[in-house]
Amino acid sequence: MLRQIAALPIRPSADGSPDVYLVTSRGSGRWIIPKGNLIRGLPPEEVAAREALEEAGLVGKVQARPIGSFEFQRIRSVAGETCLVDVYPMFVERQLKSFEEMRERTVRLCNLETALAIVASKQLAAIIEQYAAEFSAQRLAAGE
């Protein structure tokens, strides 16, 4: 089984609820989060940050611990190989106007309801929904 690392890019909306950045996959055009293969010598959270920067132009802080994992079938691999993706939350500070894969992908900032409706994986949707609830609870506890 192939392992990958993903960033779950979130930023608070004007009302404090979480908005989620999604990107399209290059092959199928399905809505996903930025992800990629492990890079030797880099901690997973730095890989997640790099993927978010390359795929969506996102800059921010990635937490050092994953919040969950999901599986998917790689479409472009031999015999539909299964891939396990560890998801690291990312607090987005800004989005660059120009980034490496901007001509290969579409980036969309979605409210939670839209993100859950369009994301390609039900497992990923569950991770997003759970983290969004924690995000909102943390912001309430902090008085934001």
pLDDT tens digits for range 22-54: 999 987 899 999 999 999 999 999 999 999 999
- Domain CATH number, residue 61: 3.90.79.10
Supply the pLDDT for residue 77: 58
Query: 135 lies in which domain range?
Result: 2-141
Tell me the H-state helices in 7-121: 44-56, 112-118
Note the pLDDT tens digit of each residue in 98-112.
999 999 999 999 999
Residue with more model confidence, 143 or 108: 108
Rounded CA-CA distance 74/44 in Å is 20
Instruction: Tell whether the model's pLDDT for residue 76 goes beyond 90.
Output: no
pLDDT-derived band of residue 136, with 50, 70 and 90 as boundaries? confident
Rounded CA-CA distance 55/140 in Å is 31
Residue whose C-alpha is closest to residue 77's, from 4, 24, 8: 4
Supply the pLDDT for residue 74: 72
User: Which letter does DSSP use for residue 119 in this model?
Assistant: B
Domains: count for the chain: 1
Rounded CA-CA distance 81/101 in Å is 24
